[in-house]
C-alpha cells in the first residue's frame, strides 16, 4: 500500500465541476486583475474569519511582508518571531527592513508563549509574529495583553491555521478564529495549505483600519488612485483566477478540517501506547485544524527510512531552526541558544493527514510505526 504525504488530486476530483465553472467564468470575462472575483473572495474571508478587513495578495509571504512594510521600520527595529517555523516568517521580517529576533517555543504545542516572547523582548522590539504552527493557535489572549503592555504590534502568521479557533471557556469548535486577534494577520493559499489555491496566493486580514488601508495601497504600488503614489509599494495582488477557485473551495473548508481532525484522532488511538512516540498535544480551548500531524519521536531518521521503504511519505518540518540558518549567521545565533527549537528540529516527523486519506491507510501508517518500535 502506497500512502503519499499529501494527495491533492483526490480533493480536486471531488469538486472538479464547480472549480471548472468558476475558472471558465473568469476566463470568459477576461478580467484577471482585482475586480469582482477578488472582492467577493475578500468579503467571504472577512466574514469567515470575523475580521473587518481582508486584502488578497500574491502569496502568504507577501501577506507577512506588506503589513511589516506598512509599519515603516527604522534601522535596528526588531521583530520577535519563533525559531521553529517556516522560513518565510523570518524572511519577510528581514526583507521589510526589521532585525529578526528569534524566540523559543513551547515543547508541547510548538508555539510561542508570553514567556518565550518576553525572554527576548528589548526596548527596540516594534513587532512580534506569533505563528499558529501546524494548525493550532498560540495562546493569543495572553499574547495580546502582553503586546499591549509592551507597546508591541502583533502580526499573526495564520498561514497554516485557516479555520483554527480558540475559545477561552474551552467549548470545542466555538471561539475566535485565527486571524481575528492581532491588528493584522497573514494567510497563505499555497497548494499544501488547508485552503489551497492553484499556485501562489495569500491574504491579509486586519482589525486595524489604518494598517488595512496601508496594505491595500502597498499591493498596488502605494496608491489608491492610479499614478498617484503616497508610498513606495509593489505589485502583489491576488489573481482573479485564484480568488474564484478559493471562493469555490471555501464552503468546503470546515468539512475538510473535520476530516483532518478525525484522522488525527484515529492516529492517536493507534499510537497512544507507544512510549517512543509523542502525538501532538492540543492545548485546552484550541480547535486544531491539523495542516500537519506532527509527532515527536525517538530515532526519527531511522523511522522515516523504515516508513519510506513501506511506501509511506512523511515530512520533516522543520529540520533547521531559523537562528541557525546560514543566511542569519550575522545575527549571532548559536547552538544551545533556543534548546526547545533545536530539539524539535531533531525529533519532529509529520505523517499523512489530508482529508481524503482512508482509514485503512491511517491504520497501515500507524501499524507500521508500531512495527518499527517492536510493538
Ligand X SMILES: *Cc1c(COP(=O)(O)O)cnc(C)c1O
Give the chain's length.
375
Among 109, 136, 185, 188, binds ligand X (CB under 6 A): 188
Q: Which of 293, 307, 315 is nearest to 370 (CA)?
A: 307
DSSP letter assigned to residue 279: P
**C-beta closer to ligand X: residue 159 or 344:** 159
CA atoms within 13 A on the CB side of 196: 18
Q: Are strands 286-287 and 165-166 parallel, antiparallel or unpaired?
A: antiparallel
- According to DSSP, the residues that pair with 164 across neighbouring strands are none
By the 8 A CB rule, do 248 and 40 touch? Answer: no
Q: Considering beta carbons, is residue 111 or 314 the nearer one to ligand X?
A: 111
What DSSP string describes 288-355? ---SSEEEEESSHHHHHHHHHHTTB--B-S-SS-GGG-GGGGGGT--TTSSHHHHHHHHHEEEEP--T
Binding mask 198-237 for ligand X (x = CB under 6 A): --x-x-----------------------------------
**Residues 229, 222: contact at Cβ < 8 Å?**
yes
Cβ at position 204, least distance to ligand X in Å:
12
Instruction: Examine residue 60 and tell whether it contacts ligand X (CB under 6 A).
Output: yes
Residue closer to ligand X by CB (options 70, 369) is 70
User: Minimum distance from CB of 200 to ligand X (Å)?
Assistant: 6
Residues 303-362 that bind ligand X (CB under 6 A): none
Instruction: Report the residue closest to ligand X, judged by CB.
Output: 60
# chain residues binding ligand X, by CB under 6 A: 15
Q: Which is closer to ligand X, CB of 134 or CB of 372?
A: 134
Q: Which is nearer to ligand X, 98 or 372 (CB)?
A: 98
Q: Are 295 and 280 in contact (CB under 8 A)?
A: yes
Binding mask 149-178 for ligand X (x = CB under 6 A): --------x-xx------------------
- Write each residue from 82 to 121 as x if it is in contact with ligand X (CB under 6 A), else as -, in one continuous string: ---xx-xx--------------------------------
> Do the beta carbons of residue 217 and residue 230 sit within 8 Å?
yes
> Distance between CA atoms of 207 and 210, rounded to whole angstroms?
9
Q: How many CB atoms lie within 10 A of CB 132?
A: 31
**Residue-wise DSSP of 50-61:** T-SEEEEES-HH
Q: Which of 61, 136, 205, 294 binds ligand X (CB under 6 A)?
A: 61
Q: Give the H or E element holding residue 278.
A: strand 277-278
Interface residue list for ligand X (CB under 6 A):
59-61, 85-86, 88-89, 131, 157, 159-160, 188, 190, 200, 202
Amino acid at each position: 500500500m502506497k500512502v503519499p504525504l499529501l494527495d491533492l488530486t483526490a480533493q480536486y476530483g471531488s469538486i472538479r465541476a464547480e472549480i471548472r465553472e468558476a475558472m471558465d467564468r473568469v476566463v470568459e470575462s477576461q478580467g484577471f486583475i482585482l475586480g469582482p472575483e477578488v472582492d467577493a473572495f475578500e468579503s467571504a474571508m472577512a466574514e469567515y474569519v470575523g475580521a473587518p478587513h481582508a486584502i488578497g495578495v500574491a502569496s502568504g509571504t507577501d501577506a507577512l511582508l506588506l503589513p511589516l512594510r506598512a509599519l515603516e521600520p527604522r534601522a535596528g527595529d526588531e521583530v520577535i518571531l519563533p525559531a521553529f517555523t517556516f522560513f518565510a516568517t523570518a524572511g519577510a521580517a528581514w526583507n521589510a527592513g526589521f532585525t529578526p529576533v528569534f524566540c523559543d517555543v513551547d515543547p508541547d504545542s510548538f508555539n510561542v508563549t508570553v514567556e518565550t516572547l518576553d525572554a527576548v523582548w528589548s526596548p527596540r522590539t516594534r513587532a512580534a509574529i506569533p505563528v499558529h504552527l501546524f494548525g493550532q493557535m498560540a495562546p493569543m489572549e495572553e499574547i495580546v495583553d502582553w503586546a499591549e503592555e509592551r507597546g508591541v504590534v502583533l502580526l499573526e502568521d495564520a498561514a497554516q491555521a485557516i479555520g483554527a479557533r480558540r475559545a477561552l471557556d474551552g467549548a470545542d469548535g466555538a471561539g475566535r478564529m485565527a486571524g481575528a486577534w492581532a491588528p493584522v494577520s497573514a494567510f497563505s493559499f499555497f497548494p499544501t495549505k488547508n485552503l489551497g489555491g492553484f499556485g501562489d496566493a495569500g491574504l491579509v486580514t486586519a482589525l486595524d483600519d489604518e494598517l488595512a488601508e496601508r496594505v491595500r495601497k502597498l499591493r498596488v504600488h502605494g496608491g489608491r488612485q492610479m499614478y498617484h503614489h503616497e508610498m513606495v509599494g509593489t505589485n502583489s495582488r491576488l489573481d482573479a483566477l485564484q480568488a474564484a477557485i478559493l471562493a469555490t473551495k471555501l464552503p468546503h473548508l470546515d468539512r475538510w478540517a473535520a476530516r483532518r481532525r478525525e484522522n488525527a484522532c484515529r492516529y492517536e488511538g493507534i499510537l497512544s501506547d507507544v512510549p517512543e512516540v509523542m502525538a501532538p498535544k492540543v492545548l485546552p480551548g484550541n480547535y486544531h485544524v491539523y495542516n500537519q500531524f506532527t509527532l515527536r519521536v525517538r530515532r526519527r531518521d531511522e523511522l522515516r527510512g523504515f516508513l519510506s521503504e513501506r511506501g509511506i511519505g512523511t515530512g520533516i518540518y522543520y529540520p533547521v531552526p531559523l537562528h541557525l540558518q546560514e543566511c542569519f549567521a550575522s545575527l549571532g545565533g548559536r547552538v544551545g541558544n533556543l534548546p526547545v527549537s533545536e530539539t524539535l528540529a531533531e525529533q519532529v516527523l509529520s505523517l499523512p493527514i489530508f482529508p481524503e486519506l482512508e482509514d485503512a491507510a491511517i491504520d497501515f501508517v500507524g501499524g507500521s510505526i508500531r512495527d518499527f518500535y517492536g510493538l
